[in-house]
Amino acid sequence: MAQAKTRRRPAAKRPVQAPRKRQDPKRYLRSLGWLVAVVAISAIAVGAVLLGKEQAQSGSEGPATSAGLPDTPDYHSLLVASSDPTRIMLGTHAGLYESTDGGRNWDQAALAGQDAMNLADSGGETAWTAGHNVFARSTDGGATWSDVRPDGLPSLDIHGFTVDPSNSDRLYAAVAGQGLYRSDEGGKSFRLASKEVGGAVMALAVMRDGRILAGDMEKGLMLSGDGGKSWRVVLRAVLMGLAVNPDDPQTVVATGPGILLSTDGGKTFDQKLDLEQGAGPVAWSPSDPKLAYVVGFDRMLYRSNDGGVSWKPVQLGG
């Protein structure tokens, strides 16, 4: 991976995917005010999708190198290298960015000008990215990518994507407006797993025991224990990110109205950080399971060193 070339401190930038005025994030955890939360976060996500598509189609890109988070119109996915907790990949609608110093500095990486709405790890050096007309696999830790064109998907407008941690050949793809699809052949082909959940999913995760968590923008956080045949609501909140701790499957971080933490496998959540603009991409470090990162829509990267209990901004450019 290339080392960062500059360490200048960026000027203040506009917020990303942020509401125009402050909303009380705690109301997302209550049934009252649920409708307002859906409309607010849905508008944010739709706006980012449209803006990102325009950018990808025009080939517009952010700066090749930056101190702090890249200046792109959205941040959508995050992945920490399997063996290096300071090596992070950030997915945007303008392609991938990499940091080798724990998120202080970033370099533009692969897939420039393409959507990287999802990043997922299959273990070792194998990783996946999926988004708007992008579905690709890397077998060298993200240095190079190969297109994957599977059978069975109605389109490659993939808003949610994840890999089963107990079976690297089992993949789940939430296709916009369609449903949740599953592959048991390492992405060679997919079949429909659920029409009920998937078409409006922006956050997706699989537990080690096979349970599926899906952040549906219309219904809230949904849980399935039978491969997607049936679902129940476990949290009335619009979520933009989900990540299960690689060492403790009972510990789950969710993002949207700030940063939320569950220590009972997603049954209940407590808000750990109130972020005015909200939060999106989240990832755990496979080699240091106490370490996690979250990208705030205030253009700040947040880090937890204690399993998601407390969060602090990463000092940029240092």
- Tell me the per-residue pLDDT of 173-200, one tens digit each, with 9 for 90 and over: 999 999 999 999 999 999 999 999 999 9
Rounded Cα–Cα distance for residues 281 and 283 (Å): 7
Burial class (CB in 10 A: 0-12, 13-18, 19+), 136: buried
Two tokens, residue 156: 């490659």
Report the Cα 34 to chain-centroid distance in Å: 22
The 3-class secondary structure across 75-143, one letter per residue, is CCEEEECCCCCCCEEEEECCEEEEECCCCCEEEECCCCCCCCCEEEEEECCEEEEECECCEEEECCCCC
With residue 313 as reference, give the H or E element that holds it.
Answer: strand 312-313
- The per-residue pLDDT for range 161-177, each reduced to its tens digit, is 999 999 999 999 999 99
* Kind and range of the H or E run holding 49: helix 34-58
Per-residue pLDDT of 102-111, as tens digits, reads 999 999 999 9
At 180, the amino acid letter reads: L
* 141's tokens: 């830790």
- Encoding tokens for residue 298? 């205030």
- 207 contacts: CB under 8 Å, gap ≥ 6: 165, 213, 244, 249, 265, 266
Q: What is the sign of the dihedral through the CA atoms of 1, 317, 283 and 47?
A: negative
Identify the residue whose tokens are 């808003």: 159
Instruction: Judge whether 214 and 266 are in contact, CB under 8 Å.
Output: no
Rounded-to-5 percentages of helix, strand, coil across the chain:
10, 40, 50
Which residue, among 207, 205, 170, 208, has the nearest Cα to 190 in the 3D structure?
Answer: 170
Q: How many CA atoms lie within 13 A of 275 on its CB side?
A: 30
Q: pLDDT tens per residue, the chain (318 residues)?
A: 444 443 334 444 444 443 333 334 343 343 333 333 433 444 444 444 443 444 444 344 444 444 578 888 789 999 999 999 999 999 998 999 999 999 999 999 999 989 899 999 988 889 999 999 999 999 999 999 999 999 999 999 999 999 999 999 999 999 999 999 999 999 999 999 999 999 999 999 999 999 999 999 999 999 999 999 999 999 999 999 999 999 999 999 999 999 999 999 999 999 999 999 999 999 999 999 999 999 999 999 999 999 999 999 998 654
Residue 272 near residue 263, CB atoms below 8 Å:
no
Q: How many CA atoms lie within 13 A of 86 on its CB side?
A: 8
Q: Which position has the token pair 């303008």?
A: 94
